[in-house]
């Protein structure tokens, strides 16, 4: 009868993954330099592969979005809300916001037309509380995003992610990467608001990197292991425990659309 090795037993034979960089920006730039041609994101819809994105491709797309934000007047330390579904636009926009020195605020995109009034009310409170200067969205939600604009005194720009990417692609000499340190904010994560108004939690790059390293140590993830998650990117576990872990440890990540699940092979393995 075959036996299953424990994580501790496997760790002796399988190298443990390690987290590079002291900030998410540093992690991205290091991975793009050292493993640029390797697959990082394999975007899937059920059993169909939609797109494969390398570390270098992620970095290039993020730099373009960061330049687009800078060209629109977004300055380091300002907040940028991301109303985007799982996909390349979210990855480019999140890291592009950081590369511009700004702070991303992910919010979940609208799901049901009959809940739009509640959605606008709830998210207007989040955007006002975070004092966002820009709202990055996608074509299907553009009208809804503009409905939020008049309610937010600080909001200067409502723009689609693909527009930012295109604008930044022609602004080669402008913008990021900005200087970002471990104590700078890397994310403002809002609670669901199921029992009250959503509340923002400020997380520094040091907080996020520490969390990623703790996950790797506690789970004893090795280079041949596969981690599976069903959580979306606007959820902290989907964002930090899944994608940030894959980014900082040079892992590949295969998020599944519609089924809302993802598999995260350990560093050195392929999705």
pLDDT digits (tens, 9 = 90+) for 167-202: 997 765 655 688 999 999 999 999 877 677 889 999
pLDDT on residue 200: 94
pLDDT at 105 over 70: yes
Average confidence score pLDDT of the chain: 81
- Whether the pLDDT of residue 270 is over 60: the answer is no
Q: Is the pLDDT of residue 110 over 80?
A: no
Percent of the chain with pLDDT over 90: 44
Average pLDDT value for residue range 49-58:
87
What would the two tokens of residue 24 be?
A: 């998410």
Query: What pLDDT score was predicted for residue 15?
Result: 65
Where does the pLDDT of residue 258 fall: very low under 50, low under 70, confident under 90, or very high at 90 and above? very low
Enter the tokens of residue 178.
């900005």
Length of the chain equals 271
Report whether pLDDT(1) > 70.
no
Between residues 46 and 159, the one the model is more confident about: 159
Burial 252-263 (b: 16+ CB within 10 A, else e): bbbbbbeeebbb
DSSP 154-174: T--EEEEHHHHHHHHHT-TTS
For 7-265, CATH gives 3.40.50.12780
CB neighbourhood size of 116 (10 A): 14
**Tens digit of each residue's pLDDT (9 = 90 or more) over 145-164:** 888 888 899 999 999 999 99
Query: What local confidence, expressed as pLDDT, does residue 81 receive?
Result: 96
Contact yes or no for 74/89 (Cβ under 8 A): no
The tens digit of pLDDT for each residue in 69-100 reads 999 999 999 999 999 988 899 999 999 999 99
pTM given for the model:
0.85
Report pLDDT for 227: 61
Helix (H, G, I), strand (E, B) or coil at 95: helix
Between residues 108 and 170, the one the model is more confident about: 108
Task: Give residue limits of the domains in the chain.
Answer: 7-265
Taking 80 as the threshold, does the pLDDT of residue 8 lie above it?
Answer: no
């Amino acid at each position: 009868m075959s036996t299953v090795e424990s994580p501790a037993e496997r760790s002796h034979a399988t190298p443990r993954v390690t987290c590079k960089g002291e900030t998410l920006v540093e992690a991205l730039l290091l991975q793009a330099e050292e493993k640029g041609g390797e697959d990082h994101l394999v975007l899937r819809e059920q059993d169909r592969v939609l797109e494969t994105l390398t570390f270098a491709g992620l970095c290039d797309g993020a730099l373009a979005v960061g330049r687009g934000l800078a060209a629109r007047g977004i300055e380091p330390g300002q907040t940028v809300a991301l109303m985007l579904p799982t996909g390349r636009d979210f990855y480019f926009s999140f890291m592009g916001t950081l590369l511009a020195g700004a702070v991303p605020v992910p919010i979940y995109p609208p799901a049901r037309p009959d809940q739009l009034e509640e959605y606008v009310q709830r998210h207007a409170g989040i955007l006002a509380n975070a004092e966002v200067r820009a709202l990055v969205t996608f074509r299907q939600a553009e009208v809804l995003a503009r409905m939020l604009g008049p309610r937010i005194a600080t909001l200067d720009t409502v723009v689609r992610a693909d527009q930012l990417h295109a604008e930044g692609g022609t602004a080669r000499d402008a913008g990021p990467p900005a200087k970002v340190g471990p104590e700078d904010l890397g994310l403002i994560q809002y609670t669901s608001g199921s029992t009250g108004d959503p509340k923002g939690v400020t997380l520094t790059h040091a907080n996020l990197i520490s969390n990623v390293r703790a996950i790797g140590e506690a789970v004893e993830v090795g280079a041949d292991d596969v981690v599976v998650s069903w959580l979306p990117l606007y959820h902290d576990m989907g964002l930090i425990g899944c994608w940030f872990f894959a980014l900082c440890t040079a892992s590949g990540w295969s998020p599944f659309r519609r089924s809302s699940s993802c598999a995260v092979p350990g560093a050195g393995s392929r999705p």
